[in-house]
Amino acid sequence: MLTRSPSMRAIVFTVVFLLAAFALLLFVWQRFGGITPLSPKGYRVHVHFAQAQNLQPNADVRMAGVKIGSVVSVSPTTGRTDAVLQIDRPYVPLRQGTRVITRVKTLLGETFVALAPGSRDAPAIPEGGAIANADIAQTQQLDEVLGAFDAKTRTTLRRYLEMTA
């Protein structure tokens, strides 16, 4: 049996192929929300929601309808839910007085965090800081809105919906 070492061309081709496959895998991993080891963390702030139904990691953080970041983690604490938001570089730092509310994006209940900017003259929220609880608005649920109607209006609305179905 005759054995020989691989040619330089075969070695170069194999190394280039492996590097290209690794780069493609890393690109796809990041696009689907995976974190890269040893990558730097961005600007992060904590928000302590009183109610955060369906808020999940990798949910969008939006300001005026534009995605400016994502939710890194959601963990329950005593009586509240601590959500860590990572904000993209062009939109940092957030200012004190920034208003926060969770909103529903789809009929399936996918939730995102909506921000309204604070005053430009207000002090910046430091890296790893928290948005004040006074600046966190309560999420308005549909059943709460319908519960605000009087009995006659609810009956009329129910009849209307039955007729249109």
The whole-number pLDDT of residue 61 equals 93
Q: Which of 63, 65, 81, 57 is nearest to 138 (CA)?
A: 81
Cα 38 from Cα 49, distance rounded (Å): 30
Per-residue pLDDT tens for 57-90? Answer: 889 999 998 999 999 999 988 888 899 999 988 8
- Helix, strand and coil content of the chain, in percent to the nearest 5, comes to 30, 30, 40
The whole-number pLDDT of residue 6 equals 87
User: What is the percent of the chain where pLDDT is above 90?
Assistant: 39
The whole-number pLDDT of residue 165 equals 65
Whether pTM exceeds 0.75 = no
Distances (CA, A) of 4 to 1, 17, 122, 155, 160: 10, 22, 72, 88, 84
The whole-number pLDDT of residue 19 equals 97
The whole-number pLDDT of residue 1 equals 65
